[in-house]
Amino acid sequence: MTAQGRIRLRILGIGMGPQHTTPEVAEALRGCDYVVAAQKHDDDGLLAARREIAAAHGVEVVAVRDPERDRVSSSTGESAHYTGAVRAWHEARVAAYETVLRERGGTAAFLVWGDPSLYDSTIRVVEQLASRLPLDYDVLPGISAPQLLAARHRLVLHPVGRPVHITTARRLPEAVDAGQTNIVVMLGSAPDLDGLADWSIWWGANLGAAGEELVTGRVGDVLPQLEEARARARAAAGWVMDVYLLRAPDADPQ
| Mean pLDDT value across the chain | 89
Q: Pick the last residue of a domain from 92, 118, 140.
A: 140
Quick check: 253 pLDDT over 70?
A: no
Say whether both 42 and 110 belong to one domain.
yes
SS3 category, 86:
helix
Q: Pick the last residue of a domain from 121, 140, 159.
A: 140
Quick check: 105 pLDDT over 70?
A: yes
Say whether both 136 and 151 belong to one domain.
no
Q: Pick the last residue of a domain from 87, 106, 140.
A: 140
Say whether both 68 and 161 belong to one domain.
no
Instruction: Indicate the DSSP class of residue 114.
Output: B
Query: pLDDT digits over 152-169, tens only?
Result: 999 999 999 999 999 999
Say whether both 58 and 150 belong to one domain.
no
Quick check: 3 pLDDT over 90?
A: no
Query: pLDDT digits over 44-102, tens only?
Result: 778 888 999 999 999 999 999 887 765 555 444 556 666 666 777 678 889 999 999 99
Say whether both 105 and 86 belong to one domain.
yes
In a domain, 123, yes or no: yes
What whole-number percentage of the chain has pLDDT above 90? 69
Question: Does 190 or 105 have the greater pLDDT score?
Answer: 105
In a domain, 253, yes or no: no
Complete DSSP assignment for 198-220 = TSEEEEEESTTSTT-EEEEEEHH
Say whether both 136 and 83 belong to one domain.
yes
**pTM of the complete model:** 0.85
Structural domain span for residue 63: 3-140
Length of the chain: 254
In terms of average pLDDT, the best of 12-21, 108-117, 237-246 is 108-117
CATH code, domain carrying 160: 3.30.950.10
Going across the sheet that includes 7-13, the strands are 60-65, 34-39, 107-112, 7-13, 135-140
pLDDT score for 41: 79
In a domain, 254, yes or no: no
Say whether both 130 and 66 belong to one domain.
yes
Antiparallel, parallel or unpaired: β 135-140 and 7-13: parallel
Say whether both 227 and 132 belong to one domain.
no
Say whether both 241 and 180 belong to one domain.
yes
In this prediction, residue 196 has a pLDDT band, given cuts at 50, 70 and 90, of very high
Query: pLDDT digits over 213-247, tens only?
Result: 999 999 999 999 999 999 999 998 888 889 999 99
Say whether both 49 and 34 belong to one domain.
yes
In a domain, 252, yes or no: no
